[in-house]
Structure 1
Amino acid sequence: MEKKLELSIVMPCLNEAETLAICITKAKRFLDNNQVEGEIIIADNGSTDGSQDIATSLNAKVIPVEEKGYGSALKGGIEAASGTYIIMADADDSYDFEALLPFLKELRAGNDLVMGNRFKGGVEKGAMPFLHKYLGNPVLSFLGRLFYKINIGDFHCGLRGFSKEAFYKMDLKTTGMEFASEMIVKSKLNNLSITEVPTTLKPDGRTRKPHLNTWRDGWRHLRFLLLYSPQWLFLIPGILSILIGFIASAIIISQPIVINNIQLDIHTLLYTSSLVLVGFQFIVFYALTKVYAVENKLLPKSNRYNKLFKYLNLETGLIIGVLFVLVGIALSYYGLNIWKHSNFGELNPSETLRIVIPAVFTILLGMQIIFFSLFFSILGLKNKA
């Protein structure tokens, strides 16, 4: 009987002939020196420089992956892996494949995802571009911790380990560089255990430019973090917009606001009332994004999600929406009476617009609530089935 492999070391590869051999040699040395039953997998994404032949000559397992992208290559290699645990890292000789034992120990201890932290282990001079070291990584890692409550200091370390079982639970979908962020976020959302160990980073051994594009790939990571956290992207800005708009509108309706000889009156009221409508749209997009993400298995379904359809239903929305419309009609009638008393002549805009603007606002808000409730109830049909 063949021994069950404990570890698969997976390297994504796209024209890495300059450094691939040394990475494979170091990985083999780690397996031999630590008596680990393992394999080395090269997930080749269409190399044209002979990388495949180098890997084959060193007895590494080459897995051709046709779909382009960092995430695609890694998924192809991981799915072909036979090990209980996976450790992945780039094949550019920037990570030390002989120093994988801390990762393996944490995996053996039962952790689902083990992240490397380059800032704790040490970044050699010239190993990380200035913008990555002092702006990109710190900012994106901070946002990841803020949005998802993940206590990880280096979100974008390319050296990380996880169990094969945990990988399937993550159900990763992205194909590009944002694959690295998705792995951490999905681990958290699926309640997998995450830890980190110090690791080092040295300048890679390639003479060509790296595949990573600072601004394009940085934006893809940021976009992913925002889209997978609709609470921060839509809900919180929506609530703040409604609160600010409603409070300011309520004050201006009662009387103009004067700040340092600057008077905020009915013209400002148009903007503050619009801010409430914009805030409501943000909350609508939060709900729709949440439904789309869950129903397409981008986010796991939770008890709170199921309650969403219990409280946000067609009947409730129609009642609230109709009430707002009726209030708007009543205010419009009151404004019409004021106009009637002046024999439909000239009006004092400062007085009448304090009634007309809230009237138009409540009618618009009521209609939006009605339309949103109808659409949301259609989305909820699948949930109720």
Structure 2
Amino acid sequence: MSNNITVSIVIPAHNEEKYVVRCIDNAKIAASKVRCGVEIIVVCNRCTDHTAELAAANGARVLTDESRCIAAVRNKGIKAARGRVVITIDCDNRMTEGTIREVLGRLNSGKYIGGGAPIRFERYSFPIWANDVLCRLGFWITGAYCGIFWAEKSTFDAIGGFVDKKAAEDIATAMRLRRYGKKEGKKYGCLKKNCLINSTRKYDKLGDWLYFRLAFRNARALIKAALGDRGDYDKLIDEMFYDYNN
């Protein structure tokens, strides 16, 4: 990879030694399809395993962040990025090989402020298909495509980075980018030829009906959070994301 960095790929990681090399390898394949410098930044968040060592051994810049807020972890990587363009992806997920090329094409067209990517799962079953349909429907209604985020670093700087929330920061950030793009006369878009390959590790371990079961069992917490009492909801988010270890 060239020292003349054009693209920075930011990967937040919490105890991801099982997945970090796979994520980096797929990013390298995508980088091999473009004629510009690409750097990979892994932001290790409260890691107690070998994520950092594996990331460094496979060519990534490694940063650390102890926040219990995914937005802050992403923003740490964006702030350190040397590229004109920033792409973010979670460590257990993968990008397809034409992702960087398509992102650069869209941004260089001058029509897009940034955007997201379609989400496809590693495997499918009936409940995972149902989750997929709900995701696609939500994206189609809101236009807040998430998964992989892409925009120029100057754009992330202009909007203050990812919205400072422990959960649903991706949707909030997509909406912020969309509003900013409207002011700039540009669209918030979604990749067409490439996608995010979404990990099914939680389904593999906890069952394919996982999120439907969680919604049913925690309906009270979700209703209370909607009414302003986030205590039980924040505990659930910690259990499923910030304290989850593969």
TM-score (norm 2): 0.70
CA RMSD of aligned residues (A): 3.2
Instruction: Indicate how the Cα distance of structure 1 residues 108 and 139 shifts in structure 2: closer, same or farther if over 3 A, else same.
Output: closer
Structure 2 residue runs without a partner (length 5+): 227-246
Contact 1:126 1:203 (8 Å CA) reproduced:
no
Structure 1 match to 2:176? 186
Instruction: Indicate how the Cα distance of structure 1 residues 124 and 51 shifts in structure 2: closer, same or farther if over 3 A, else same.
Output: closer
Give the distance between the partners of 1:133 and 1:13, measured in 2 at CA.
24
Shift of 1:88: 0.9
Pairing partner for 1:200 from 195, 212, 218: 195
Give the distance between the partners of 2:49 and 2:164, measured in 1 at CA.
26
Moved more, 108-117 or 123-132: 123-132
SS in 2 for 1:38: strand
Q: Encode CA deviations 1:47-71: one digit per residue, 9 max, x unaligned.
A: 2221111001112011111111221
Structure 2 match to 1:101? 101
Structure 2 match to 1:327? none
Contact 1:13 1:91 (8 Å CA) reproduced:
yes
Q: Which structure dedicates a bigger proportion of its chain to helix? A: 1
Pairing partner for 2:159 from 165, 170, 181: 170
Instruction: Indicate how the Cα distance of structure 1 residues 204 and 66 shifts in structure 2: closer, same or farther if over 3 A, else same.
Output: same
Q: Encode CA deviations 1:336-376: one digit per residue, 9 max, x unaligned.
A: xxxxxxxxxxxxxxxxxxxxxxxxxxxxxxxxxxxxxxxxx
SS in 2 for 1:174: coil
SS in 2 for 1:106: helix
SS in 2 for 1:132: helix
Contact 2:31 2:100 (8 Å CA) reproduced:
no
Contact 2:115 2:191 (8 Å CA) reproduced:
yes
Give the distance between the partners of 1:33 and 1:132, measured in 2 at CA.
32
SS in 2 for 1:175: coil
Structure 1 residue runs without a partner (length 5+): 145-151, 224-385
Give the distance between the partners of 1:123 and 1:24, measured in 2 at CA.
18
For 1:25-64, list aligned pairs within 5 A: 25-64=25-64
Instruction: Indicate how the Cα distance of structure 1 residues 60 and 115 shifts in structure 2: closer, same or farther if over 3 A, else same.
Output: same
Give the distance between the partners of 1:97 and 1:208, measured in 2 at CA.
28
Instruction: Indicate how the Cα distance of structure 1 residues 39 and 113 shifts in structure 2: closer, same or farther if over 3 A, else same.
Output: same
Structure 2 match to 1:116? 117
Structure 2 match to 1:91? 91
SS in 1 for 2:10: strand
Counting matched residue pairs gives 205
Q: Encode CA deviations 1:271-327: one digit per residue, 9 max, x unaligned.
A: xxxxxxxxxxxxxxxxxxxxxxxxxxxxxxxxxxxxxxxxxxxxxxxxxxxxxxxxx
Instruction: Indicate how the Cα distance of structure 1 residues 209 and 81 shifts in structure 2: closer, same or farther if over 3 A, else same.
Output: farther
SS in 1 for 2:30: helix
Give the distance between the partners of 1:123 and 1:104, measured in 2 at CA.
24
Structure 1 match to 2:68? 68
Give the distance between the partners of 2:200 and 2:27, measured in 1 at CA.
16
Give the distance between the partners of 2:196 and 2:73, measured in 1 at CA.
22
Moved more, 162-171 or 105-114: 105-114
Q: Encode CA deviations 1:123-148: one digit per residue, 9 max, x unaligned.
A: 56428834532335524652x3xxxx
Instruction: Indicate how the Cα distance of structure 1 residues 100 and 49 shifts in structure 2: closer, same or farther if over 3 A, else same.
Output: same
Moved more, 126-135 or 88-97: 126-135
For 1:1-385, list aligned pairs within 5 A: 4-96=4-96, 99-110=99-110, 111-118=112-119, 125-126=123-124, 129-135=128-134, 137-139=136-138, 141-142=140-141, 144=142, 152=143, 155-171=144-160, 172-190=162-180, 191-192=183-184, 193=186, 194-198=188-192, 199-202=194-197, 204=199, 206=201, 215=215
Contact 1:11 1:42 (8 Å CA) reproduced:
yes
Q: Which structure dedicates a bigger proportion of its chain to strand? A: 2
Q: What one-letter code is carried by the residue in structure 2 that aligns with 1:103?
A: V
Q: What one-letter code is carried by the residue in structure 1 that aligns with 2:157?
A: Y
Contact 2:147 2:196 (8 Å CA) reproduced:
no
Q: What one-letter code is carried by the residue in structure 1 that aligns with 2:176?
A: K
Contact 2:115 2:189 (8 Å CA) reproduced:
yes
Contact 1:126 1:202 (8 Å CA) reproduced:
no
Give the distance between the partners of 2:136 and 2:32, measured in 1 at CA.
34
Instruction: Indicate how the Cα distance of structure 1 residues 200 and 102 shifts in structure 2: closer, same or farther if over 3 A, else same.
Output: same
Bigger relative contact order, structure 1 or 2 (CA pairs below 8 A, ≥6 apart): 2
Instruction: Indicate how the Cα distance of structure 1 residues 106 and 93 shifts in structure 2: closer, same or farther if over 3 A, else same.
Output: same
Contact 2:116 2:145 (8 Å CA) reproduced:
no
Larger radius of gyration: 1
SS in 2 for 1:6: strand
